[in-house]
């Protein structure tokens, strides 16, 4: 710690208009060494170096006034012993030390914490680091800093931008929840919105569904998963007459139905881990990680909206945010209440069985009570239907085919779910620090992992018959449990969930291998729904191998590697409906099994101990993403085969995971609102272009 010399320049104050040169009265402290950069110096490609140089020039030239706006300080590493721990998202003394190093400010404790905001906090325990660290991104409000600590002036004058480490932004980035974004949008475009919704016709682009908006357009949103909820929210905020149709039950009843499944083996085919309020992700780990750009405006808007409905603000800061089922349930209740206040009619237990089509355009839906099978079906008219049914609505894919709607088979991945005792994963990842986990109540996060192996099929050592395919871990649930996500009693498919604390004894993750039309062809499965049949084939095999009653076939990883069944009494599993020892080589075609085996041996090199007798493989994980895509217009989001139909979210092949599904629903909501003349601009003008094509996983 430095002591301030009495003659220190720190005592002088420079008025805002003069840019002083500083004479240092003390030895300049060493500049901050940033750990954890992926590649540095000589190891950069020449093109990368050039790009970096350009960016550097650009940001250096950009700083018009260092003493205004926000400075963003990135990659500030604080060791575990100096950090209050994962749940603290403020500015600690340890973090102030790191900030002071970047500013070359000699007395960290004199920096006012109010001037700094943590915008990201992650835990980095990669083996190549000398020691695990919390890594921060912090925003510094210079105005506040200088008014609270004028002696920082000299140090700001010396601060130079460095790409990715120290960057200047003229003003703080504005973000807000979707409700505020739409309110602001409506204020700016007030004239248009009120005129548009009273007497204008649609201004949608050519080919889109034009609708006279003298009355509110009547829109049905089918499915209350993240994509359906966000589409309904946008449309209702813009004043559409929205009905949300959900075959499953509201979270209160759904919780009881899931309880009956887990305790009494009673599967409600319409209210389970896949169907019901909130969609497939409600009884989940609630991971909010996404591959569509964590800092993009659209993802921030979704995250802020979740906070608006009750998610903790920490999800905006946490490097790997997750909610857990216990937080998702009340959040969804709040979401529902808000929609109802906006006038949305929500009908649970209402399954859409068919589309009503007239003159090549959707004019409504045929629905039935999903609980009372004796009740008659009804026909309800709508101006448009947003289809947000998720990837388990296999019956609805058939309905779409019956209307000659294009469905394009899409690659996805299948495999097994691996489970280790959480303690094993903690010590694989954290070594000595593992004791700090304390079942989610400790300083460091419950450990997770992400592993991936690309198998080219050319290497002599690679599995036989393998063409290029990847094997990767997916939907890792630290401190979680393996759950049954079947929607039919003759099929077994599994997934993982956890509660917010991630306090269970187990760590599970899917280990899956990519599959494509070639694989379906081998089993003589062809046509648009070949992928669905492919999934079903292995789900039924798994059910038979388990022997019924939702018992899941399992094998220790060591036995799986040796293709043998040496133990009939397997290690314990978190799966509540029972497991049965089986040789899982008998489930998938040989090339999938060999890819899994080969990749496991690679993962064990990365994480020695990953292959162990305590690790148990469960069969099968098949619904990693949708097996089809429903083509739609890029701008209007309308189906290319049927007017008035708007396919969105994971089931339509445009998202994978809670956040990307919500983003897709949000963009679709704007597109539909625009097509019906409820707004004159698309969401792109506010949040930028959507990044949600193809299949994205989380
Ligand atoms: C157990 C589990 C854990 C998961 N964990 C995570 C995680 O941690 N993080 C993450 O990002 N993602 C997770 N996912 C994936 C995530 O849930 C999905 O990607 C996401 O929910 C897709 O959203 P969606 O709105 O497109 O579809 P869905 O969420 O599947 O919603 C579709 C809805 O439509 C309803 N529906 C279907 N057909 C009809 C019909 N004919 N009539 C009326 N309603 C209908 C369904 O009941 C369902 O509620 C998990 C999934 C599962 C199953």
pLDDT digits (tens, 9 = 90+) for 458-475: 554 545 554 678 999 999
CA–CA gap between residue 424 and residue 434 (Å, rounded): 9
Q: For ligand 1, say whether the CB of 513 is within 6 Å of any of its atoms.
A: no
Question: Does residue 205 form part of some domain?
Answer: no
Residue nearest to atom 46 of ligand 1 (CA): 275
> For residues 274 and 10, what is the distance between their CA atoms, to the nearest angstrom?
61
CB 396 near ligand 1, within 6 Å:
yes
| Residue 658 in contact with ligand 1 by CB distance below 6 A | yes
- Which H or E run contains 379? strand 378-381
pLDDT at position 22 over 70: no
Average pLDDT over residues 418-439: 94
In a domain, 678, yes or no: yes
Shared domain for 317 and 444, answered yes or no, is: no
pLDDT at 59: 57
Residue 52 CA to its chain's centroid (Å): 29
Q: Per-residue pLDDT tens for 394-403?
A: 999 999 999 9
Name the least confident of 52-61, 69-78, 93-102, 298-307: 52-61
pLDDT at 368: 97
Write out pLDDT tens, residues 565-611. Answer: 987 788 999 999 999 999 999 999 999 999 999 999 999 999 999 99
CB atoms within 10 A of CB 389: 30
Q: With CA atoms as reference, report the closest residue to 661 among 330, 224, 274, 46.
A: 224
Q: Is residue 135 part of a domain?
A: yes
Say what the pLDDT of residue 3 is: 35
Backbone angles phi, psi at 470, to 5 degrees: -115, 150
Q: What is the mean pLDDT of residues 656-677?
A: 96
Q: Is residue 193 part of a domain?
A: no
226-237 and 658-675 are packed helices; what angle lies between their axes, rounded to 10 degrees? 30
Per-residue pLDDT, 196: 43
Q: How many CB atoms lie within 10 A of CB 361?
A: 14
Question: How many A from CA of 273 to the centre of ligand 1?
Answer: 9
In angstroms, the Cα distances linking 278 to 138, 244, 350, 483, 666 are 33, 12, 15, 17, 15
Mean of pLDDT values over 657-661: 96
- Look at residue 55 in the predicted model and tell me its pLDDT: 63
**What does the DSSP assignment read for 77-121?**
EEEGGGS--TT--S--HHHHHHHHHHHT-S-GGGS-GGGEEEEEE
Give the CA-trace dihedral at 542, 548, 550, 554, to 10 degrees: -50
Average pLDDT over residues 346-360: 97
Is the minimum distance from the CB of 495 to ligand 1 under 6 angstroms?
yes
pLDDT value, residue 5: 36
Is residue 520 domain-shared with residue 450, that is, in the same domain? yes
Q: Give the residue, by CA position, lying nearest to ligand 1 atom 17.
A: 281
Ligand 1 atom closest to residue 282's alpha carbon, by position in its atom list:
17
Q: Tell me if 229 CB under 6 Å of ligand 1.
A: no
* Predicted pLDDT at 684: 84
Q: Which of 658, 692, 696 to mutate to test the pocket of ligand 1 (most atoms within 8 A of CB)?
A: 658
Residue 388, SS3? coil
Which of 280, 645, 660 has most ligand 1 atoms within 8 Å of its beta carbon, as the pocket-test mutant?
280
* Structure tokens belonging to residue 642: 């049927």
Answer yes or no: is 189 within a domain.
Answer: no
Tell me how many domains the chain contains. Answer: 3
**Nearest residue (CA) to ligand 1, atom 5:** 284
Same domain for 235 and 91, yes or no, is no
Question: Are both 378 and 458 inside the same structural domain?
Answer: no
For the chain, counts of helices (H) and of strands (E): 18, 23
276 lines ligand 1 (CB under 6 A): yes
Q: Closest ligand 1 atom to the C-alpha of 223?
A: 34
Residues 238 and 361 in one domain: yes
* pLDDT for the residue numbered 171: 75
Residue 687 alpha carbon to ligand 1 centre in Å: 24
Report yes or no: 133 and 77 within 8 Å, Cβ to Cβ. yes
DSSP string, 525-568: --STTHHHHHHHHHHHHHHHHHTSTTPEEEEEHHHHHHT----S
Whose alpha carbon is nearest atom 37 of ligand 1? 389
Output the residue whose Cα is nearest ligand 1's atom 39: 389
User: Are both 228 and 260 inside the same structural domain?
Assistant: yes
Please give the number of the atom of ligand 1 that sits closest to the Cα of 278.
Answer: 49
257 lines ligand 1 (CB under 6 A): no
Residue 284 Cα: closest atom of ligand 1: 3
Are 16 and 164 part of one and the same domain? yes
Tell me, yes or no, whether 599 and 654 share the same domain: no
Q: Note the Cα 65 to chain centre separation in Å.
A: 37
Q: Choose one of 250, 284, 291, 655 to mutate for the ligand 1 pocket test, by most ligand atoms within 8 angstroms of C-beta.
A: 284
Q: Is 557 helix (H, G, I), strand (E, B) or coil?
A: helix
Q: Which CATH number covers residue 680?
A: 3.50.50.60
Preceding amide of 395 cis, omega within 30: no
Neighbours of 397 (CB within 10 A): 22
Ligand 1: does its nearest atom lie under 6 Å from the Cβ of 282?
no
The answer, yes or no, to whether any atom of ligand 1 lies below 6 A from the CB of 96, is no
Q: Are 142 and 88 found together in one domain?
A: yes
351 and 301 within one domain: yes
Give the Cα separation of 40 and 48 in Å (integer). Answer: 10
Rg (CA), the chain: 27
* 250 touches ligand 1 (CB under 6 Å): no
Instruction: Check residue 185 and give its pLDDT.
Output: 87
Question: 131 to each of 85, 142, 165, 443, 446, how far by Cα in Å?
Answer: 15, 32, 20, 15, 17
CB burial of residue 640 (10 Å; 0-12, 13-18, 19+): middle
Residue 127 clears pLDDT 80, i.e. is over it:
no
Whole-number Å distance, alpha carbon 652 to ligand 1 midpoint, is 12
Tokens 């915008």 belong to 119
378 CA from centroid of ligand 1 (Å): 25
Residue 203 located in a structural domain: no
Confidence of residue 281 (pLDDT cuts 50, 70, 90): confident
For residue 248, the ligand 1 atom closest to its alpha carbon is 47
Name which residue sits closest to atom 30 of ligand 1, judged by CA. Answer: 390
Tell which atom from ligand 1 comes closest to the C-alpha of 395.
Answer: 41
Query: How many residues does the structure list for the chain?
Result: 698
Residue finishing a domain among 169, 200, 231 = 169
Select from 602, 621, 640 the last residue of a domain: 621
Q: Which residues pair with 506 in a beta bridge?
A: 421
Kindly state whether residues 427 and 539 are assigned to the same domain: yes
Instruction: Spell out the residues 6+ positions from residue 652 whose beta carbon is closer than 8 angstroms to its own.
Output: 387, 388, 626, 629, 630, 632
The per-residue pLDDT for 8 is: 42
> How high is the mean pLDDT of the chain?
88
14 lines ligand 1 (CB under 6 A): no
| SS3 category, 477 | strand
pLDDT of 295 above 80: yes
**Residue 237 Cβ contacting ligand 1 at under 6 Å:** no
- Structural domain harbouring 63: 9-169
Task: Tell me, using a 6 A CB cutoff, whether residue 299 lines ligand 1.
Answer: no
Do 640 and 586 sit in the same domain of this protein? no
Q: How far apart are CA 421 and CA 504, in angstroms?
A: 9
Q: Is 653 exposed, middle or buried (0-12, 13-18, 19+ CB in 10 A)?
A: buried
692 lines ligand 1 (CB under 6 A): no
Q: Is residue 452 part of a domain?
A: yes
> What gap in Å lies between CA 159 and CA 569, rounded to an integer?
64
Residues 6+ apart with CB under 8 A from 74: 137, 138, 164, 165, 166, 167
Rounded distance from Cα 277 to ligand 1 centre (Å)? 9
In a domain, 387, yes or no: yes
- Taking the whole predicted model, whether its pTM rises above 0.85 is answered as yes
192-196 contacts, C-beta under 8 A, 24 or more apart: 192/679, 192/680, 193/238, 193/239, 193/678, 193/679, 193/680, 196/677, 196/678, 196/679, 196/680
Q: Is the pLDDT of residue 175 over 70?
A: yes
Q: What is the pLDDT of residues 506-536, one digit of tens each?
A: 999 999 999 999 999 999 999 999 999 999 9
Closest alpha carbon to 552 in 511, 491, 605: 491
């Amino acid at each position: 710690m430095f002591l301030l010399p009495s003659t220190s320049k720190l005592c002088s104050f420079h008025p805002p208009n003069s840019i002083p040169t500083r004479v240092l009265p003390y030895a300049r402290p060493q500049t901050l060494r940033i750990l954890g950069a992926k590649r540095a110096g000589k190891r950069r490609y020449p093109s990368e170096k050039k790009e970096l140089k350009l960016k550097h020039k650009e940001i250096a030239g950009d700083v018009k006034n260092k003493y205004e706006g926000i400075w963003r300080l990135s990659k500030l590493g604080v060791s575990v012993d100096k950090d209050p721990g994962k749940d603290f998202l403020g500015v600690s003394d340890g973090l102030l030390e790191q900030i002071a190093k970047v500013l070359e400010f000699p007395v960290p404790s004199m920096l006012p914490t109010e001037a700094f905001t943590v915008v990201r906090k992650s835990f980095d325990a990669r083996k190549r680091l000398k020691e695990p660290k919390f890594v921060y991104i912090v925003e510094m409000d210079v105005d506040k800093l200088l008014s609270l600590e004028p002696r920082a002036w000299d140090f700001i004058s010396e601060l130079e931008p460095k790409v990715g480490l120290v960057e200047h932004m003229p003003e703080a980035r504005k973000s807000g929840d979707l409700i505020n974004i739409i309110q602001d949008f409506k204020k700016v475009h007030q004239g248009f919105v009120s005129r548009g919704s009273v007497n204008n016709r649609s201004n949608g682009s050519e080919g889109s569904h034009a609708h006279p908006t003298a009355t509110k357009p009547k829109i049905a949103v089918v499915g209350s998963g993240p994509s359906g909820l966000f589409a309904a929210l946008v449309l209702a905020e813009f004043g559409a007459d929205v009905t949300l149709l959900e075959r499953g039950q509201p979270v209160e009843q759904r919780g009881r139905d899931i309880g009956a499944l887990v305790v009494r083996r009673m599967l409600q085919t319409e209210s389970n881990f896949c169907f019901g309020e909130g969609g497939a992700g409600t009884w989940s780990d609630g991971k909010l990680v996404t591959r569509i750009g964590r800092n993009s405006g659209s993802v921030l808007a979704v995250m802020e909206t979740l906070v608006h409905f009750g998610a903790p603000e920490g999800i905006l800061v946490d490097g790997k945010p997750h909610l857990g089922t216990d937080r998702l349930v009340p959040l969804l209740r709040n979401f529902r209440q808000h929609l109802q206040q906006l006038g949305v009619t929500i009908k649970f237990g209402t399954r859409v069985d068919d589309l009503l089509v007239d003159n090549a355009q959707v004019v409504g839906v045929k629905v039935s009570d999903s609980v009372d099978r004796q009740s008659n079906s009804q026909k309800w008219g709508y101006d448009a239907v947003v289809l947000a049914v998720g990837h388990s609505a296999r019956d609805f894919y058939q309905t779409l085919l019956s209307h000659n709607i294009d469905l394009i088979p899409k690659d996805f991945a299948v495999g097994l779910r691996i489970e280790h005792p959480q303690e094993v994963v903690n010590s694989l990842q954290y070594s000595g620090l593992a004791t700090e986990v304390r079942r989610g109540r400790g300083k460091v996060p419950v450990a997770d992992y992400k592993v991936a192996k690309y198998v080219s099929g050319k290497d002599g050592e690679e599995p036989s018959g393998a063409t290029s395919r990847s094997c990767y871990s997916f939907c890792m649930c630290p401190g979680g449990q393996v759950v049954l996500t079947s929607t039919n009693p003759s099929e077994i498919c599994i997934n993982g969930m956890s509660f917010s604390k991630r306090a269970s004894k187990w760590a599970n993750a899917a280990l899956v291998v990519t599959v494509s039309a070639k694989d379906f062809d081998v089993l003589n499965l062809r046509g648009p729904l070949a992928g669905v049949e492919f999934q079903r084939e292995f789900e039924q095999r798994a059910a038979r191998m388990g022997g019924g009653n939702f018992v899941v076939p399992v094998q220790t990883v060591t036995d799986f590697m040796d293709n043998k069944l040496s133990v009939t009494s397997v290690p314990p599993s978190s799966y509540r409906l029972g497991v049965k020892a089986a040789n899982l080589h008998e489930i998938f075609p040989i090339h999938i099994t060999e890819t899994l085996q080969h990749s496991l041996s690679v993962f064990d090199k990365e994480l020695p101990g990953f292959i162990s007798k305590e690790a148990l493989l469960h069969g099968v994980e098949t619904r990693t993403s949708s097996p089809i895509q429903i083509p739609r217009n890029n701008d209007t989001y309308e189906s290319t085969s049927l007017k008035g139909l708007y396919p969105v979210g994971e089931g339509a092949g445009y998202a994978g995971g809670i956040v990307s599904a919500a983003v897709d629903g949000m963009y679709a909501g704007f597109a539909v609102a625009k097509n019906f003349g409820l707004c004159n601009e698309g969401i792109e003008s506010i949040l930028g272009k959507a990044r949600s094509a193809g299949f994205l996983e989380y």
